[in-house]
Amino acid sequence: MIEYIILITLLLVSGAAAIMFKNMLYAAMGLAVCSIMLAFVMFKLNAPWAGVFELSVCAGLITVLFASTVSMVKTDKKYFVQSKMSKYLPLAVIIFGLILLSFGKPFLTVLMAEHKAHVSQSVGDIIWNVRFKDLIAQLAILVAGVVAIKAFFGKHSDEVEEKK
Amino acid sequence: MTEIFNPSNLVLNYFVATLLIFMGIYGMASSRNILKLLIGIEVASKGCMMAILTAGYALQKINYAQALIILMVGVEVIVIAVALSLIIKNYIQRHNVDAWKLKKLKG
């Protein structure tokens, strides 16, 4: 029980750190720690497949993408505009949390009311049979993403003509 | 109040998910740095994942929640990859990552 509360606290602190750090590399690291903590929470809530994906893709791949982008983009302070509002994040979170504790409890408990037994299928069955259309849509998004990146960085015909 | 901080009661998870979504939105609203906006989106999406996971756990449909999260992670990576490539392209052309200066793009 105490471990779970520590996990949840670290999740919130690392999420806040990711937003508050001025150095973008540290912010990316904060995001990675946030993903790792969320993966542990997933393991605790009997969701190992989601935890593995979160750990490998979000904590691994996305952090690498962020770190490589930060290294490509100049880290001069002039180019990294940071609003003063970021400093007040903890205060804003505390105020929002208190409001949520005071007025939001009926909304937070609404899903608990429908607690009922359900014969569950395996994750594979759900992805391949029940959510197959989502899988097709995801594939379409993947192809669109690849085409977009190719369009951004590929050589255009006018550039090739200029070189000639 | 003590009821909320009891981990066996899933209200704590919904509470944390809401706070994460709030932090993400605050991060997006408070920064002009495009990379920071992306980090805000990521933090908010972590909150959404936590909410989906908790709902699945509470309704005893954890496998369904896992399937949704796996699909969500896939889409998230593609969105981040495309957005980061746009940022790099913008930086090559304009030498800044300030979201306010993107208005120069208007036709």
* Band of residue A96 on the pLDDT scale cut at 50, 70, 90: confident
- CA nearest A118: which of B107, B19, B65? B65
What is the CB-side half-sphere exposure of residue B91 using CA atoms within 13 A? 20
- Please write the tens of the pLDDT for every residue from A143-156: 999 998 888 887 76
* Stronger pLDDT, B39 or B31, i.e. the higher one: B39
How far does CA B95 lie from the centroid of its chain? 26
Mean pLDDT, chain B, integer: 84
- Beta bridge pairs of residue B33: B98
Structure tokens at B87: 């940022």
The pLDDT assigned to B106 comes to 60
Query: A80 in helix, strand or coil?
Result: coil
Of the listed ranges A15-19, A20-24, B70-74, B92-96, the least confidently predicted one is B92-96
The yes or no reply on domain A1-75+88-102 and CATH 1.20.120.450 is: no
Count the alpha carbons within 13 Å of B50 in the hemisphere toward its beta carbon: 32
Q: How far apart are CA A55 and CA B45, in angstroms?
A: 15
- Return the amino acid letter for A120: S
Q: Does the beta carbon of A118 lie under 8 angstroms from any beta carbon of chain B? A: yes
Weakest-pLDDT range from A29-33, A50-54, A113-117, B42-46: A113-117
DSSP B97: -
Residue among A78, A96, A89, A97 nearest A27 (CA)? A89
CB atoms within 10 A of CB B62: 23
Is residue A10 pLDDT above 90, yes or no?
Answer: yes
Q: Residue for token digits 């208190």? A: A98
Taking contacts as CB-CB distances below 8 angstroms, the residues of chain A near B36 are 19, 24, 27, 82
Average pLDDT, integer, range A108-126: 65
Judge whether residue A49 has pLDDT over 60.
yes
CATH fold of the domain at B11-105: Helix Hairpins (1.10.287)
Query: Which among B1, B6, B33 is the top mutation candidate for probing chain A, defined by the most A β-carbons within 10 Å of its own β-carbon?
Result: B33
Chain A / chain B CB contacts < 8 angstroms: 244
Residue A160 pLDDT grade (very low, low, confident, very high; cuts 50, 70, 90): low
Q: Which residue on chain B is closest to A91 by alpha carbon?
A: B23
β-sheet bridge partners, residue B98: B33
pLDDT in tens, A60-82: 999 999 999 988 887 555 545 55
Domains in chain A: boundaries = 1-75+88-102, 122-154
Residues B40-82 pLDDT 10s: 999 999 999 999 998 888 888 888 889 999 999 999 999 999 9
* pLDDT attached to residue A116: 55
**Domain boundaries in chain B?**
11-105
Does A132 contact chain B (CB < 8 Å)? no
Query: What is the greatest pairwise CA distance in chain A?
Result: 70
Question: What's at A7, amino acid-wise?
Answer: L
HEC letters along B48-72 = HHHHHHHHHHHCCCHHHHHHHHHHH
ipTM entry: 0.88
